[in-house]
């Protein structure tokens, strides 16, 4: 279980419609819900999933940062809006919280808050770009559910999110950018793990943009990647995993 997730759930109770947790923390909650183990993760990636944020939610977010005593408060530069908060004085709070928004004015920090402007690196830059895609952003509402008191996106959309991140980071690495290969493989491996949660014979349809991204991802894995599924806790070979994904996403 992600450190501090109970604090997070308690603090944001009643605001489940305002946000969704994605990434490793969402995966961890889904796996824990069915009695399975996920890989370790320390941070919580949180998306503001409404265009007009309630003042009460913005105030609750600020009070969460103050209660945890987050000393490092950082803001990504450019049009890709994200905030990173870490180094909490209270160690019962999450180690790191990253907040992604589509609008700069969504979260207003107190004038007394010292915010450091930073350049988004691998995962944060990729996720920010994905959220600027209207199809992915709209899909959040359809895939959102509450697990252990936390609003998350479920496996049906986590898989495409991670597939798109895998593709984006792979493209940037091929173009010469310095991208950690472990980050790319993390997304690939998480998709393999998440495939266990897909319900047989249930079709997933988020539209052509997301279906095409899944098609590109599956083709890449089939042609270029050698995946040891046993090391990821699966008995099924990678060919069976790919077949399950094709069936689920209508490819």
Check if the beta carbon of residue 190 is closer than 8 Å to that of residue 160: no
Exposed e or buried b per residue across 205-239, where buried means at least 16 C-beta atoms within 10 angstroms of its C-beta: ebeeebbebbbebbeebeeeeebebeebebeeebe
pLDDT for the residue numbered 103: 65
- Report the pLDDT averaged over residues 22-47: 92
Question: Where is 75: in which H helix or E strand?
Answer: strand 70-76
Q: How confident is the model at residue 245 (pLDDT cuts 50, 70, 90)?
A: very high
pLDDT for the residue numbered 104: 58
- Report the pLDDT averaged over residues 222-242: 91
Q: How confident is the model at residue 1 (pLDDT cuts 50, 70, 90)?
A: confident
Which burial class, exposed, middle or buried, applies to 131 when counting CB atoms under 10 A from its CB (0-12, 13-18, 19+)?
A: buried
**How far is it, in rounded angstroms, from Cα 63 to Cα 150?**
18
Check if the beta carbon of residue 241 is closer than 8 Å to that of residue 234: yes
**How far is it, in rounded angstroms, from Cα 47 to Cα 49?**
6
- Report the pLDDT averaged over residues 79-94: 85
- Report the pLDDT averaged over residues 198-213: 94
Q: How confident is the model at residue 212 (pLDDT cuts 50, 70, 90)?
A: very high
Domain ranges of the chain: 1-153, 154-251
Q: What angle do CA 23, 29, 35 make, to 5 degrees?
A: 135
pLDDT for the residue numbered 128: 77
Q: How confident is the model at residue 118 (pLDDT cuts 50, 70, 90)?
A: very low
- Report the pLDDT averaged over residues 33-47: 90
pTM for this predicted structure: 0.91
- Report the pLDDT averaged over residues 96-117: 63
Q: Is residue 120 pLDDT above 60, yes or no? A: no
Residue 21: which of 46, 42, 40 has the closest Cα?
46
Check if the beta carbon of residue 136 is closer than 8 Å to that of residue 130: yes
pLDDT for the residue numbered 80: 52
Per the model's pLDDT, the better-predicted residue between 151 and 108 turns out to be 151
Specify the fold of 1-153. Beta Polymerase; domain 2 (3.30.460)
Lowest-confidence region among 9-13, 110-114, 224-228: 110-114
pLDDT for the residue numbered 114: 46
Lowest-confidence region among 44-48, 126-130, 202-206, 241-245: 126-130
Query: 240 is written with which tokens?
Result: 């069976």
Q: Is residue 199 pLDDT above 70, yes or no? A: yes
Contacts 24+ apart (CB under 8 A), 48-52: 48/18, 48/19, 48/99, 48/100, 48/101, 48/102, 48/106, 48/107, 49/18, 49/19, 49/20, 49/137, 49/140, 49/141, 49/144, 50/17, 50/18, 51/102, 51/103
**How far is it, in rounded angstroms, from Cα 67 to Cα 65?**
6
Instruction: Give tens-digit pLDDT for 54-79.
Output: 888 888 998 999 999 998 877 776 55
């Amino acid at each position: 279980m992600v450190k501090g997730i109970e604090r997070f759930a308690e603090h944001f109770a009643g605001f489940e419609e305002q946000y969704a947790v994605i990434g490793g923390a969402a995966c961890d909650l889904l796996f824990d819900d069915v009695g399975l183990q996920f890989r370790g993760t320390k941070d919580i990636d949180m998306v503001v999933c409404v265009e007009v944020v309630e003042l009460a939610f913005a105030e609750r977010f600020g009070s969460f940062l103050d209660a945890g005593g987050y000393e490092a408060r950082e803001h990504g530069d450019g049009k890709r809006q994200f905030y990173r908060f870490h180094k909490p004085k209270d160690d019962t709070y999450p180690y790191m919280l990253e907040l992604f928004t589509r609008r700069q004015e969504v979260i207003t920090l107190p004038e007394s808050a010292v915010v450091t402007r930073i350049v988004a690196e691998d995962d944060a830059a990729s996720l920010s770009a994905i959220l600027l895609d209207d199809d992915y952003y709209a899909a959040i509402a359809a895939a959102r559910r509450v697990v252990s008191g936390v609003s998350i996106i479920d496996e049906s959309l986590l898989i495409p999110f991670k597939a798109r991140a895998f593709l984006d980071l792979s493209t940037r690495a091929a173009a010469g950018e310095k991208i950690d290969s472990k980050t790319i493989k993390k997304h690939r491996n998480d998709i393999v793990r998440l495939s266990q949660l897909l319900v047989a014979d249930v079709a997933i349809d988020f539209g052509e943009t997301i279906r095409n991204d899944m098609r590109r991802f599956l083709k890449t894995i089939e042609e270029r990647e050698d995946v040891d599924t046993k090391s990821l806790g699966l008995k099924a070979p990678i060919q069976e995993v790919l077949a399950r994904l094709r069936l689920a996403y209508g490819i």
